[in-house]
Structure formats: structure tokens, C-alpha cells
Amino acid sequence: MTHTSSPESLTLARRGSRPPLTHVPLSDAPLAELDVTLGPWPGATHKTGDLRLHVRRTHTDGEAAPETVVYVHGLGGSSTNWTDLGRLLAPSASGHAPDLPGFGFSEPMDGYTFSLSAHAGVLGDYLAEHIGRPVHLVGNSMGGAVAMLVAAHRPEFVRTLTLVSPAVPDLRPDPRRLSDPRLALAYLPVVGRRVRRQLAAMTPRQRAEQVIRLCFADPSSFPAHRFDELIEEHSARVAYEWAESAMVRSTMEIFRTWFTRGAGSLWSVAPRISAPTLVVWGTDDRVISVRRAPRTARLIPRARLLVLPRTGHVAQMERPTTVARAMLGMWESVESGRW
């Protein structure tokens, strides 16, 4: 695979193609000014099925944006993972960023399984009940896998799909890919209870530092005030008795899906996605290897692949301007019939 030398350069691969890859310029459509000092978008609770989801919304001044984007966070993340990207795209699209059940400020209901299919069911219900029309669906990591399931099973609600390092099967035996390697032990017999006590004893600052070290190619680039926001969110979640369980059980459900064969595998789901799809990966992704990127893009019928150098697992946070211009480029290409 060939990588470009600049974060502002993108390489795209059409489904089934091999290097050399086709260079595609970024959209020159207007973006909102990137102000990294601004805090998260405002949030509110929305009843969805039997759940109450916390959802953050972008708002634009003046006329309503012509498009709608729905952003889906990854494991251990929340709606705040989309602060910059959503604001950049606000002139072109209104944004909805739900906290999946058990994450952010969305409390899961009793009996919730935390499986990828359960998360996809909730997201599909939110699209049907609160938007009711096709959207530009964007997912990162676990949220990317959830978005794949929605695109395959609820295609009437997905206009385009953007996947940022989706959590496709990556069976490297390396526990360092977890924000905390102890998560893999938390529900084992005998040792599990002790591990769960250790995890619960971590401070919000320790949790935030773990996440940043794992997900960013250059952790030092994470803005200080965003670090404070992350600590504040982790501090608030300490009071939620369901928070630790949601993290551990969602982790185990992702692993279970990775070992699923046949129709339940994400590799089997990918070919059933009909929406135009942009797959984004960072060369320095320590969570899901960039080696999974070509297969992911090949299997989705209308997918193209962007590989961003010197970028980790959360390209929408590390390279929000690049990702925004790439998404707009896809939308423009779809409108003109060139995708």
C-alpha cells in the first residue's frame, strides 16, 4: 500500500483496485472555522424505543443546513468525540451525535446486551423516530461496526456511509490494543472480581490518559482543555453504576463478533452495504491495524479508501479538517454520479 507524505493528501482506492492508488483532491466547499477552544455541542435526552438517549446536536446560524449527519462514537468514547468534525461540517449539515447505551450519559435499560446488533438496533430506532429520512452516517471504531450493521439492515436511512477505523475483525493477540489490558480478564472466573475492583479504582485522569495514549498517533497533540473535558466526563460517569459494566461487556461483545463465522460476521455484512462508502484509516492505528483497511474497502461494493499518515485510531479528532473535506468530496461525487 502506498501512503502519502502529507496529512492533507489523500489516497483513494476503488473497490477491487490495486496500487497505484488514485489521488483525489479535497473538497473546497466552505467549512466552519475550526476553533478548538470551544466545548462540546449542547446535548439533550431523547426517548428512543424503551431507552432515553443523550444526544448532542450541532446548530447553525440562519438557514438550516441542507444535509443531516449522524455520528456514532467508538468503545469507551461518547458524543464528544465529534466536537470538531461536526462544527466544521455545520454549514453543510446539521449533526446528531448520540451516546450509545452505557456510554456518555445514556443509561442502558435492564437486560440490555451491549452487542453490536443491540447498539445497531437502538441507532436504527433513533434514525426512524427522530430523523425519518436518509442521513450521512459516520462511525468510528465500534461505532463504525454499528454503522455497518445499520447500513446493511436499514439502508433506507443511509445516504452515505463514512467509516473511521471500523472495528472489523482484527485477531492480533496483543492486549495492548485495549485501553486497559485488564478488560479482557474482567469477566473471567476467579480473577474477574479482583480485576473489576482494580478498574473501578482508577481515577478519571488515569482513564483519560489511557485513552489518549492508545488512540492518538501523537498523544502530545491532544489539546489541554480537551483533556480537562475528558477528565470531567469520566468523573461524572463514576457515579453511574452501569458504566464499568457497559465498557467491559461491549468489549467482550466485539471480541465475540470477531470470532463469529458466516452470516453474523462483519466480513459477511460488508458486501450487503449499498450506500456510497468512504473508509478512513490512520497508518499509526494501534487499535485496529491499517492492514484491515484494503479488505474492508474491497468488500463494500461502493467503497473507497483513505489512508492518512501519522494518524491513529480517531482520525476525526486528529485530522478533523482532512476528514471533513474528504466527506464533502464524497458527497459532491455522489451528487454528480462520479462515486
* Domain membership flag for residue 216: no
> pLDDT value at position 234?
83
* Domain membership flag for residue 233: no
* Domain membership flag for residue 72: yes
Half-sphere exposure in the Cβ direction for 227 (13 Å, CA):
13
Contacting residues for 326 by C-beta, under 8 A, at least 6 apart: 10, 26, 27, 278, 280, 306
Q: What is the CATH number of the domain that holds 79?
A: 3.40.50.1820
Tell me how many domains the chain contains.
Answer: 1
Q: What's the predicted TM-score (pTM) here?
A: 0.88
Q: What is the CA radius of gyration of the chain?
A: 19
Q: Which of 37, 83, 85 is nearest to 56 (CA)?
A: 83
* Domain membership flag for residue 248: no
Q: 132, exposed or middle or buried, with CB in 10 Å at 0-12, 13-18, 19+?
A: exposed
Quickly count: other Cβ atoms within 10 Å of residue 23's Cβ. Answer: 10
* Domain membership flag for residue 238: no
> pLDDT value at position 16?
42
* Domain membership flag for residue 190: no
> pLDDT value at position 85?
97
Q: Print pLDDT tens along the chain (339 aa).
A: 333 433 333 444 444 443 333 444 479 998 998 888 888 999 999 999 999 999 999 865 556 678 999 999 999 899 999 999 999 999 999 999 999 999 999 999 999 999 999 999 999 999 999 999 999 999 999 999 999 999 999 999 999 999 999 999 998 766 666 656 665 555 555 566 676 676 666 788 887 888 888 899 999 888 888 888 888 888 888 889 999 889 889 988 999 999 998 888 999 999 999 999 999 999 999 999 999 999 999 999 999 999 999 999 999 999 999 999 999 999 999 999 988
* Domain membership flag for residue 302: yes
C-alpha cell at 61: 446560524
* Domain membership flag for residue 221: no
> pLDDT value at position 224?
83
Quickly count: other Cβ atoms within 10 Å of residue 295's Cβ. Answer: 13
CA 124 to chain centre: 16
> pLDDT value at position 1?
36
C-alpha span between 77 and 55 (Å, rounded): 13
Range(s) of the domain holding residue 53: 11-175+261-335
C-alpha cell at 284: 499509526
